[in-house]
Amino acid sequence: MAVRPTDKNDRATIRRTLHYFWGVTRQKMGAFVLSIVSSVGYIALLTFANTYVMGLIVDRVQASPVSADQVLPVFGPYVLALLVVNAVGQTLSKLQDYSVYKLEINGDYQLSRLCFDTLSNQSMTFHNSRFGGSLVSQTSRFVSGYSGLVDVVTYSLWPTLASIVLTVGILAPIAPLFVAILVVMLVLYVVIAYGMYRRILPLSAEASRAQNKLSGVLSDAVTNILAVKTYGREDYERGLFTTADREAMAAENINMRATMRRGFTTSALITVIMFVVSIFVVGGNAWFGISAGTLVMMFTYTYNLTMRFNYFNSMMQRINRALGDAAEMTRVLDEPTLVADDEDAKPLEVTEGRIDFENLRFRYPDAPKDDYVFEDLNLHIPAGQRVGLVGRSGSGKTTLTKLLLRLDDVQEGRVLVDGQDVSHCTQQSLRRQVAYVPQEALLFHRSIRENIAYGKPDATEEEIRRAAEEANALEFIERLPDGFDTMVGERGVKLSGGQRQRVAIARAILVDAPILVLDEATSALDSESEALVQGALENLMRGRTSIVVAHRLSTVASLDRIVVLAHGEVVEDGTHHELVERGGEYASLWNRQTGGFLE
């Protein structure tokens, strides 16, 4: 597997990741400071103060024998000191845990919300080119990366730094030569270890990327499980999953082997350091007149420090893992938002519902440079008019509705609603003025009641029932065991296609928006259901500006006006009868229908 070397992009990603992590940490500065104080205090007391008192006890024992009746008077103060040191140290240990909890709980909440807001505000072009499962995995890894970094910093980094400062500070006056040699060797250790683990970071990022891809493959197969089963493609999907699984395992193995090789190198350096310590311990008294208690203290301090550095291997690995896990989502967070509100964007106010497409020039951001859907398209829709958009697949019908909803932004030209440029209005206010029913009903794994009331969550029970009745959905809903409380399953899979569509139409009816967009809204209905729902849609469209996208030309024949698109241009415009009599593109499409569908 090819591995990207560490480059400027990797370093920039690390800086941006740390920027996001520090941003949420600053919100809990008190907990952050407490994590430092408690970590340093915990080590200072339970490792250094404990050992220091024990060294004093050893020196006192070595100085002269103590009779049985003098043990408590002589050693009582030392015992009391140990009791206080351990009690305070254990308290600091719990405060350390508390600070970590506070930082992680806040970080998980804030970073999850940051990811959600970023993903929900991205354009449909962004989402159409990515696995939803991979984005979920990237979000999870980004958040867990923060928690992992908080853990390693609090429980490893601060204690290690404190151990260095305290070891040098306490032993330098006693054994300056020993401390000088120790510092040189530890600096050498850090330089070598950091250099090695800096080269491992791309391996951790690659392993995380492979895991995210694996999650995407799994999500894609599970989401489309009906297609997998009905076409008997379980073995094929298993093959795709196995391939992605092997790639993920190979990336993890490469990362593991690189980490282990560097681990052996750092362990060898620790062995050399302990060898030097042993020499000083055995000869310290003879060569430098150092007391037994001080030698015990020197050995314990240095041994604790070297063990801390021995865990440097694990610490760097965990830091690499945290930063590697967060890398992909960091890049997503840094991607420009293709459709964004202006800083001074104002809410859209619809009084009439007039729509104008002026000199539109548009291509999808991921399309070839000269592959434009529209070039200088103009279309005026008066307020309250019911307009059908027809044309062969790829003519730009659905794209035009997406530009009205501002799911994508035009490169040139304007989309106006009542004279207001939608690109200068807030997206939420725009979409709340447009009731949209797509070809495939968009349902959540929630109750039917919640799905119908999604655009108007404060709707009364009576309003919800009335909307369901007008959409010809009430009858089938009441036949369900749980009625309006029935859970519809992911994407509404527990309902038939026609039932899903009627629930979506009921949602649009309940919203009662001044502009209505129906994108093949009746295509999933059988003839009987279509006839019943068509009447409800006629009532719904009355008095509203309505755009109806259809391949089934019978659904638009009765509308006020029909606009025919071909190759991104308006080629015909008129009523059904006018266009049929004209004998042009629409008449040709009408005559070539089979069962009312455009071939």
Pick the closest to residue 309 from 416, 192, 399, 455 (CA basis): 192
Domain 8-334 belongs in CATH node 3.20.20.120? no
Instruction: Please say whether the dihedral angle defined by the alpha carbons of residues 173, 174, 179 and 180, taken in this order, is positive or negative.
Output: positive
φ, ψ at 364 (rounded to 5°)? -70, 140
Q: Which residue has the tokens 């298993």?
A: 238
Task: Compute the distance between CA of residue 56 and CA of residue 296 in angstroms, rounded to an integer.
Answer: 10
Single-letter amino acid, residue 57:
I
For every residue of 365-407, DSSP letters joined together read: TTS-TT--SEEEEEEEE-TT-EEEEE-STTSSHHHHHHHHTTS
What are the structural domain ranges in the chain? 8-334
How many C-alpha atoms does 491 have within 13 Å on its Cβ side?
8
Specify the pLDDT at position 96: 93
pLDDT at residue 474, as a whole number: 86
How many beta carbons lie within 10 A of that of residue 248, not counting itself?
21
The two structure tokens encoding residue 448: 């039917």
The confidence score (pLDDT) of residue 513 equals: 87
Please give the Cα distance from 390 to 333 (Å, whole number): 38
pTM tops 0.75: no
φ, ψ (nearest 5 deg) of residue 387:
-120, 130
**Mean pLDDT for back-to-back runs of 10 residues, the chain (599 residues):** 48 84 91 93 86 76 70 78 88 93 91 87 75 78 90 89 87 81 80 70 70 73 64 75 83 75 69 72 63 73 76 74 82 80 86 91 81 89 92 86 88 91 89 84 84 87 89 86 84 77 86 87 65 71 87 83 90 91 86 53
Amino acid at 298: M
Per DSSP, the three-state class of 523 is coil
Per-residue confidence (pLDDT) for residue 594, from 0 to 100: 45
Give the burial string for 468-484 (b: 16+ CB within 10 Å, else e): bebbbbbebbeeeeeeb
Please name every residue paired with 356 in a beta bridge, in sequence order, or none if there are none: 380, 416
Q: Which residues pair with 423 in a beta bridge?
A: none
Q: In the prediction, which pLDDT does 562 show?
A: 93
Distance between CA 541 and CA 400 in Å, rounded?
A: 19
Q: Give the closest residue to 25 by CA, choosing from 113, 144, 119, 149.
A: 149
- What is d(CA 149, CA 273) in angstroms, rounded to the nearest whole number? 28
DSSP β-ladder status, 569-574 and 374-381: unpaired
Q: What is the dihedral of CA 557, 561, 565, 569, to 10 degrees?
A: 170
